[in-house]
């Protein structure tokens, strides 16, 4: 199949500083200027997507994700590198950009639709669909300035998703809607992809990326540091920010390159995560049904009060199988002083069927405002042993088959057996 | 983006601008008439009673309103076009669409005002029972085309430069103020000394305004100065458009 998007060594740099472009520079034919310093928002990023592909772009703020979307949508031009995009593109970089607050929902549908490249006739033919998707029926003739932010976002997404794009760019916009609307958006994205739309999805929500995309691209300081499956990309991202946090642990000054927001503070640090068997030895293979012990060794670098410990187990495609935190369990954790260490032990039943699984650990502050530490994939383990069943969980079915008496009653009865 | 959808976008955007401009205002489109009419009333008092100006027998109100309406259109359209990119920053930096759309739509939106204000010209002609030469009126589209080309060229340039230097809008405001007096709006060309005339008509708007008077008030065809204005306007349009296209790729980054 022919590629819809080819990005070859895409690069975008911005000039640092506030200086105005001189008139001479504006008219100059040679735009290179040696005296300037530049910020490389995106540097040498290459990827290729085919119809129906879905690529998730993840990375911390300022890593260049939105810049890539702007380059793809032709809002911004690459400083160097080649970019080829095939067919109509619809971008959700900001929902409802181009809405005018004084105009009604109806007027804004036409306005926004034409800005996104639709013909009026096209908008007319999809009008009802758009209104139904956004769920703004009663407010169609109300100025959008009276809309709630949720309605505003729904209408914005509804219009962009009905452009029938060959390429759809979605930038971290679904966070505004409620859960039901998000589900609707995911369904719409999946539907578009079945019809051959190429999707590029930027999000901070790792579960959303895993759910929507097969492929993942991790951006870090303008560079693509990982490309592969979405599930692997999420792990690579987690490792990258952990490394970055570790390196800048003692620097309190915000950095210039956009990483001023530290994702992890390392006030408490995960030193070691082990699965232990009954004898207390570290193992990486467990048996279905056998008890397992998990030990998490933590070193406290700065005093922390009542940290929240959480454990998450995923299948290899990233689906969450089990997620539990001390907060949900209403366990009050102690307060730790700097330099203290602790071991968090989990006793687990392991009803998983044969397969490979991933285990993640994180420690968050009591108010959940930030992570102290987070290991998206602290370890991988496999489970062996259960025969005669497929799937994920051993539900321990017992099976009983009994012949019934001659069929006098017309409706057969089924017995459900539970152990 | 295909041409047809770009055309629809320009029209939709222009319609939006007109609608937004007069929404929640009591007088609405009447403002398009009131603005030039009020100015004309003031100038009528000054140049009829204080410093009488010889208009060659044409009632001063009719004389100046015929010029004031196209000038108001010209001046307002250039101001709006210059602001069109900067005032829609969030659109320019978030969504791709042909960038020329914004200045063109700003011009079209002002054209609606022009149409409304022009209705009063017809009313004045009827009130003053002023004779009209139909052959001359056929030139109005041509005169208007010259004005539109000139405005569009300057608007492209102004809009693009304004993205980089906000001084531009102040320069434009000042230039339009001075330009007003360099154009025969409140006085007739006959008051300009003969020896200045060749230079005087290097101002393309002088040719445009005088041509409007020719065909509406003087019952004659436009003079050769309209051709000069047309030539200048064409050059300005080409230069303005090329400049705009040359720098537009930077808009989203600079704006």
- Segment B19-52, tens digit of pLDDT: 888 887 888 888 889 989 999 999 999 999 999 9
Residue with token string 């502050």: A365
- Residues of B near A (CB-CB distance < 8 A)? 1, 4-5, 8-9, 12-13, 16, 19-20, 23-24, 90-97, 164-165, 247, 249-250, 252-254
Taking the C-alpha atoms of residue B111 and residue B176, their distance in angstroms, rounded to an integer, is 18
Interface touch A119/B8, C-beta < 8 Å: yes
Name chain B contacts of A102, Cβ cutoff 8 Å. Answer: 20, 23-24
Taking the C-alpha atoms of residue A307 and residue A363, their distance in angstroms, rounded to an integer, is 6
- Beta carbons within 8 Å of A231's beta carbon, 6+ residues apart: A210, A216, A314, A316, A317, A318
Q: Ranked by mean pLDDT, which of A10-14, A136-140, A269-273, B238-242 comes out on top?
A: B238-242
According to the model, what pLDDT value does residue A252 have?
41
Taking the C-alpha atoms of residue B37 and residue B58, their distance in angstroms, rounded to an integer, is 17
Lowest mean pLDDT among A53-67, B77-91, B183-197: A53-67
A26: confidence class by pLDDT, cuts 50, 70, 90: low
Name chain A contacts of B91, Cβ cutoff 8 Å. Answer: 97-98, 115
Taking the C-alpha atoms of residue B16 and residue B188, their distance in angstroms, rounded to an integer, is 38
Taking the C-alpha atoms of residue A140 and residue A107, their distance in angstroms, rounded to an integer, is 9
Name chain A contacts of B165, Cβ cutoff 8 Å. Answer: 20
Distance from CA of A236 to the nearest CA of B (A): 29
Query: Which two three-digit tokens encode residue A340?
Result: 């203290």
Answer whether B240's CB lies under 8 Å from B155's CB.
yes
How many DSSP H helices and E strands does chain B contain? 12, 0
Mean pLDDT, residues A361-390: 84
Name chain A contacts of B105, Cβ cutoff 8 Å. Answer: none
Interface touch B13/A111, C-beta < 8 Å: yes
The answer, yes or no, to whether residue A262 has pLDDT greater than 50, is no
Taking the C-alpha atoms of residue A111 and residue A120, their distance in angstroms, rounded to an integer, is 9
Mean pLDDT, residues B66-70: 96
According to the model, what pLDDT value does residue A385 have?
79
Looking only at the bridges linking them, the beta strands covering A292-300 and A268-276 are: antiparallel
Mean pLDDT, residues B90-110: 92
Taking the C-alpha atoms of residue A188 and residue A192, their distance in angstroms, rounded to an integer, is 6
Looking only at the bridges linking them, the beta strands covering A80-85 and A5-15 are: antiparallel
A24: confidence class by pLDDT, cuts 50, 70, 90: low
Q: Which of A21, A74, A75 minimises the CB distance to B164?
A: A21
Name chain A contacts of B23, Cβ cutoff 8 Å. Answer: 102
The helix or strand, by DSSP H or E, that contains position B79, with its residue range, turns out to be: helix B60-84
Answer whether A370's CB lies under 8 Å from A401's CB.
no
**Which residue of A lies nearest to B23 if distances are taken between CA atoms?**
A102
Residues in a beta bridge with A169: A91, A200
A416: confidence class by pLDDT, cuts 50, 70, 90: low
**Which residue of B lies nearest to A111 if distances are taken between CA atoms?**
B12
According to the model, what pLDDT value does residue A263 have?
65
Answer whether B189's CB lies under 8 Å from B206's CB.
yes
Answer whether B159's CB lies under 8 Å from B84's CB.
yes
Q: Which of B19, B23, B97 minimises the CB distance to A115?
A: B97
The answer, yes or no, to whether residue A300 has pLDDT greater than 50, is yes
Query: Which two three-digit tokens encode residue B134?
Result: 């139909």
Nearest CA to A354 out of A303, A288, A272 is that of A288
Distance from CA of B165 to the nearest CA of A (A): 8
Nearest CA to A70 out of A47, A87, A92, A38 is that of A92
Q: Which of B91, B249, B253 minimises the CB distance to A98?
A: B91
Interface touch B9/A102, C-beta < 8 Å: no
Classify the complex by whether its ipTM is higher than 0.85, answering yes or no.
Answer: no
Q: Which of A70, A107, A114 minimises the CB distance to B8?
A: A114
**Which residue of A lies nearest to B96 if distances are taken between CA atoms?**
A75
Q: How much is the mean pLDDT over chain B? A: 93
B226: confidence class by pLDDT, cuts 50, 70, 90: very high
Name chain B contacts of A100, Cβ cutoff 8 Å. Answer: 16, 20
Distances (CA, A) of A140 to A147, A184, B73, B135: 10, 20, 34, 50
Q: Which of B16, B96, B247 minimises the CB distance to A75?
A: B96
According to the model, what pLDDT value does residue A22 have?
65
Distances (CA, A) of A26 to A122, B130, B160, B245: 40, 52, 11, 12
B254: confidence class by pLDDT, cuts 50, 70, 90: confident
Angle at A164 between CA B1 and CA A93, to 5 degrees: 75
Q: Residues A103-122: pLDDT tens digits?
A: 899 999 999 899 888 889 99
Q: What percent of chain A has pLDDT over 90?
A: 32
- Say if residue A184 is exposed, middle or buried (CB neighbours under 10 Å; 0-12, 13-18, 19+): buried
Name chain A contacts of B164, Cβ cutoff 8 Å. Answer: 20-21, 26
Look at phi and psi of residue A154 and say left if phi exceeds 0, alpha if psi is from -120 to 50, else beta: alpha
* A175 vs A264, more confident: A264
According to the model, what pLDDT value does residue A172 have?
72
Mean pLDDT, residues A319-327: 90
Distance from CA of B60 to the nearest CA of A (A): 41
Interface touch B19/A103, C-beta < 8 Å: yes
A178: confidence class by pLDDT, cuts 50, 70, 90: confident
Residue with token string 């995560």: A273
**Which residue of B lies nearest to A171 if distances are taken between CA atoms?**
B94
Counting one residue from A and one from B, how many pairs have CB atoms under 8 Å apart?
Answer: 72
Nearest CA to B124 out of B43, B183, B64, B211 is that of B64
Distance from CA of B170 to the nearest CA of A (A): 17
Residues in a beta bridge with A225: none
The answer, yes or no, to whether residue A59 has pLDDT greater than 70, is yes
Interface touch A75/B252, C-beta < 8 Å: yes
Answer whether A242's CB lies under 8 Å from A374's CB.
yes
pTM of the model: 0.77
DSSP B86: G
Answer whether A402's CB lies under 8 Å from A299's CB.
no
Q: Which of B11, B250, B253 to mutate to test the interface with A (most CBs of A within 10 A)?
A: B253
According to the model, what pLDDT value does residue B124 have?
94
The answer, yes or no, to whether residue A414 has pLDDT greater than 70, is no
- Say if residue A39 is exposed, middle or buried (CB neighbours under 10 Å; 0-12, 13-18, 19+): middle
Q: How much is the mean pLDDT over chain A? A: 83
According to the model, what pLDDT value does residue B205 have?
97
**Which residue of A lies nearest to B88 if distances are taken between CA atoms?**
A98
Q: Which of B4, B6, B8 to mutate to test the interface with A (most CBs of A within 10 A)?
A: B8
Reported as half-sphere exposure (CB side, CA atoms, 13 A), residue B103 has a value of: 29
**Which residue of B lies nearest to A29 if distances are taken between CA atoms?**
B246
According to the model, what pLDDT value does residue A253 have?
39
Distance from CA of B106 to the nearest CA of A (A): 15
**Which residue of B lies nearest to A91 if distances are taken between CA atoms?**
B95
Query: Which two three-digit tokens encode residue A102?
Result: 């004084």
Query: Which two three-digit tokens encode residue B202?
Result: 């290097």
**Which residue of B lies nearest to A41 if distances are taken between CA atoms?**
B253
**Which residue of A lies nearest to B19 if distances are taken between CA atoms?**
A103
Look at phi and psi of residue A110 and say left if phi exceeds 0, alpha if psi is from -120 to 50, else beta: alpha
Taking the C-alpha atoms of residue A151 and residue A360, their distance in angstroms, rounded to an integer, is 36
Interface touch A74/B96, C-beta < 8 Å: yes
Distances (CA, A) of A56 to A42, A60, A167, A227: 16, 13, 13, 10
The helix or strand, by DSSP H or E, that contains position A219, with its residue range, turns out to be: strand A215-220
Name chain B contacts of A97, Cβ cutoff 8 Å. Answer: 90-91, 94-95
Taking the C-alpha atoms of residue A310 and residue A303, their distance in angstroms, rounded to an integer, is 19
Name chain A contacts of B16, Cβ cutoff 8 Å. Answer: 100, 103, 107, 111
Nearest CA to B14 out of B109, B115, B114, B99 is that of B109
According to the model, what pLDDT value does residue A415 have?
56
- Beta carbons within 8 Å of B238's beta carbon, 6+ residues apart: B153
Interface touch B5/A97, C-beta < 8 Å: no
Interface touch B20/A100, C-beta < 8 Å: yes
Taking the C-alpha atoms of residue A92 and residue A172, their distance in angstroms, rounded to an integer, is 9
**Which residue of B lies nearest to A118 if distances are taken between CA atoms?**
B5
Taking the C-alpha atoms of residue A55 and residue A266, their distance in angstroms, rounded to an integer, is 31
A173: confidence class by pLDDT, cuts 50, 70, 90: low
Taking the C-alpha atoms of residue A248 and residue A259, their distance in angstroms, rounded to an integer, is 10
């Amino acid at each position: 199949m022919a590629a819809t998007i080819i990005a070859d060594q895409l690069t975008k740099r911005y000039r640092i500083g506030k200086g105005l472009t001189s008139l001479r520079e504006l008219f100059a034919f040679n735009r290179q200027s040696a005296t300037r310093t530049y910020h490389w928002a995106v540097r040498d990023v290459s990827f290729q997507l085919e119809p129906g592909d879905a690529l998730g772009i993840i990375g911390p703020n300022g890593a260049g994700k939105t810049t890539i979307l702007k380059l793809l949508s032709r809002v911004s031009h690459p400083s160097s590198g080649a970019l080829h995009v095939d067919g109509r593109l619809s971008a959700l970089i900001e929902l409802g950009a181009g809405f005018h607050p004084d105009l009604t929902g109806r007027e804004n549908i036409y306005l926004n639709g034409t800005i996104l490249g639709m013909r009026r006739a096209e908008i007319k033919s999809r009008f009802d669909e758009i209104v139904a998707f956004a769920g703004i029926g009663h407010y169609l003739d109300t100025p959008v300035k009276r809309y709630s932010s949720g309605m505003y976002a729904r209408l914005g997404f509804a219009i962009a998703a009905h452009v029938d794009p060959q390429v759809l760019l979605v930038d971290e916009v679904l966070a505004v809607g409620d859960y039901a609307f998000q589900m609707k958006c995911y369904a719409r994205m999946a539907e578009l992809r079945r019809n051959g739309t190429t999707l590029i999805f930027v999000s901070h929500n790792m579960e959303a990326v895993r759910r929507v995309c097969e492929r993942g691209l991790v951006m870090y300081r303008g560079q693509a540091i990982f490309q592969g499956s979405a599930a692997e990309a999420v792990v690579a991202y987690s490792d990258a920010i952990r490394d970055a946090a570790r390196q800048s642990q003692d620097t309190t000054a915000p950095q210039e390159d956009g990483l001023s927001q530290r994702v992890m503070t390392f006030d408490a640090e995960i030193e070691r995560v082990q699965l232990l068997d009954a004898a207390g030895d570290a193992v990486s293979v467990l048996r279905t049904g056998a008890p397992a012990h998990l030990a998490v060794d933590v070193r406290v670098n700065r005093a922390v009060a009542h940290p929240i410990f959480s454990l998450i187990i995923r299948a290899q495609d990233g689906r969450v199988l089990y997620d539990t935190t001390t907060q949900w369990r209403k366990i009050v954790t102690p307060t730790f002083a700097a330099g203290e260490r602790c071991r968090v032990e989990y006793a687990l039943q392991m009803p998983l069927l044969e397969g490979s699984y991933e285990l993640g650990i994180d420690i968050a502050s009591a108010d959940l405002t930030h992570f102290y530490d987070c290991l998206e994939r602290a370890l991988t383990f496999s489970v062996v042993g259960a025969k005669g069943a497929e799937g994920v969980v051993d539900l321990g079915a017992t099976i009983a088959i009994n012949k019934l008496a001659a069929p006098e009653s017309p409706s057969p009865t089924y017995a459900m057996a539970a152990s | 983006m295909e041409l047809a959808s770009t055309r629809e976008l320009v029209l939709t955007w222009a319609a939006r601008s007109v609608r937004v401009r007069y929404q929640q205002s009591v007088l609405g489109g009447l403002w398009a008439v009131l603005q030039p009419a009020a100015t004309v009333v003031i100038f009528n008092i000054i140049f009829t009673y204080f410093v009488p100006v010889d208009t060659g027998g044409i009632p001063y109100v009719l004389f100046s309103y015929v010029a004031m309406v196209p000038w108001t259109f010209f001046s307002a359209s250039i101001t709006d076009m210059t602001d069109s990119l900067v005032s829609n920053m969030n659109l320019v930096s978030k969504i791709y669409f042909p960038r020329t759309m914004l200045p063109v739509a700003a011009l079209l939106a002002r054209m609606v005002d022009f149409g409304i204000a022009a209705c009063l010209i017809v009313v004045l002609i009827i009130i003053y029972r002023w004779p009209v030469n139909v052959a001359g009126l056929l030139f109005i589209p041509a005169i208007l085309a010259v004005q539109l080309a000139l405005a569009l060229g300057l608007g492209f340039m102004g809009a693009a430069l304004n993205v980089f230097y906000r001084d531009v809008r102040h320069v434009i405001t000042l230039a339009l103020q001075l330009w007003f007096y360099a154009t025969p709006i409140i006085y007739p060309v006959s008051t300009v000394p003969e020896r200045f005339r060749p230079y005087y008509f290097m101002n393309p708007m002088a040719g445009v305004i005088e041509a409007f008077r020719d065909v509406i008030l003087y019952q004659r065809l436009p003079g050769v100065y309209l051709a000069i204005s047309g030539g200048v306007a064409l050059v300005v349009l080409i230069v303005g458009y090329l400049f705009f296209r040359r720098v537009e790729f930077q808009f989203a980054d600079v704006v």
